[in-house]
Amino acid sequence: MALATQFHTTKPHMLKESKEYASQTLMGGLSGFESPIGLDRHDRINALRTGDIGFVHSWDINTSVDGPGTRMTVFMSGCPLRCQFCQNPDTWKMRDGQPVYLDAMVKKVERYKDVFKATGGGITFSGGESMMQPAFVSRVFRAAKEMGVHTCLDTAGFLNKNYSDEMIDDIDLCLLDVKAGDEQTYHEVTEGALAPTIAFGNRLREHGVKIWVRFVLVPGLTDAVENVENVARICEQFGQSVEHIDVLPFHQLGRPKWHELRIPYKLEDKKGPSADTRKRVKEQFESHGFVVY
């Protein structure tokens, strides 16, 4: 069954008439997107399920941060994990995002497609956790592929089962966050389970999707020699799909958001890793044959 037949289109009666609806645009990170404010709660839930709308936190244009070339990075709202070092706790709740039409997002990709092609860039979905909204993300990816635009999914892979094989085939690159190397440490870091991430990485390998592994190095939390070795062994399972591993030093840039949201922050006084620790971890991954940045 083709992917397109798995989705349904929002019914005309779902779009309520109003001057406010017709003129609405989202400001502050979502400027230029029309928001379906005319949908009631039931219709929004249905449109979310079919992918006719997605709940978006913000978006920007960047270079060589979230994939190759110049990229449009879209930060989706909603995440099932609660990582201690999360930089964007304001994206945890889907309801805090703004609903954006599928067509509006596709048009935005089309607007930049020449830039993407010239720079080898494309569209990246990040979050939050973009796999919480698989229909919307996958339909945008399908449209992007039809335009010849590179697609990239930034994910922890925790919602592995949300993605069908057909959806995976429209991913050119995955930025896969492997947050820890064993279940106990992973749960301490995220309050979630590690196994789905491994399963998703293996599925990416089977489909020939390129992987950039991301590993956040937090002193006293993820920097133990054994934990790093376990992460390396997990990455070995993904075979030649892994192009490189990004070792990301912990920093405190997200701390003000935790304070603003009044969420208890366990890493309040935590410092970033020392140069010696970063060197040791890099060498550990390199000893397994990986290119490390």
Q: What is the CATH number of the domain that holds 168?
A: 3.20.20.70
pLDDT value of position 17: 38
Supply 265's token pair: 């922050």
Alpha-carbon gap, residue 93 to 76, rounded angstroms: 10
pTM (predicted TM-score)? 0.87
Give the pLDDT band of residue 1 (cuts 50, 70, 90): very low
SS3 for 261?
helix
Residue 40 lies in a domain: no
Give per-residue pLDDT as tens, 125-172.
Answer: 999 999 999 999 999 999 999 999 999 999 999 999 999 999 999 999
- Host domain of residue 59: 53-286
| pLDDT surpasses 60 at 3 | no
List, for residues 19-33, the tens digit of each pLDDT value. 333 333 333 356 556
Residue 104 pLDDT greater than 80, yes or no: yes
Nearest to 202 by CA among 236, 226, 152: 236
Return the sign of the alpha-carbon dihedral for residues 46, 153, 75, 36: negative
**Residue 290: pLDDT band with limits 50, 70, 90:** very high
Residue 26 lies in a domain: no
What backbone torsions phi and psi does residue 24 show, to the nearest 5 degrees? -65, 130
User: Binning pLDDT at 50, 70 and 90, where does residue 241 land?
Assistant: very high
C-alpha pair distances (Å), 260 with each of 126, 173, 247, 277: 22, 34, 28, 31
Contacts of 26 (CB under 8 A, 6+ apart): 32, 33, 34, 35, 56, 98, 100
Determine how many CB atoms are found less than 10 A away from the CB of residue 107: 14
For 191-225, the pLDDT digits (tens) are: 999 999 999 999 999 999 999 999 999 999 999 99
At 107, list the tokens: 């048009």
149, 116 Cβ separation under 8 angstroms: yes
Q: How many domains does the chain have?
A: 1
Q: What is the pLDDT of residue 37?
A: 56
Asked if residue 254 is part of any domain, the answer here is yes
In a domain, 143, yes or no: yes
45's CB contacts (< 8 A; 6+ apart) are none
Residue 39 within a domain? no
| Beta-carbon count within 10 A of 189 CB | 21
Averaged pLDDT of the chain: 88
> Residue range 252-271: average pLDDT?
95
Q: Is the pLDDT of residue 38 over 70?
A: no
Does residue 18 lie in a domain region?
A: no
Cα 5 to Cα 265: distance, rounded to the nearest angstrom: 44
Asked whether the beta carbons of 115 and 70 are under 8 A apart, the reply is yes
Predicted local confidence at residue 262, as pLDDT: 96
Q: Rounded CA gap, 234 and 230, in Å?
A: 6
The reply to whether 31 falls in a domain is no
Look at residue 233 and tell me if it is in a domain. Answer: yes
Lowest-confidence region among 23-37, 120-134, 173-187, 250-264 = 23-37
What tokens were used for 22? 């017709």
Model pLDDT for residues 41-94, shown as the tens digit of each residue: 777 788 888 999 999 999 999 886 899 999 999 999 999 999 999 999 999 999
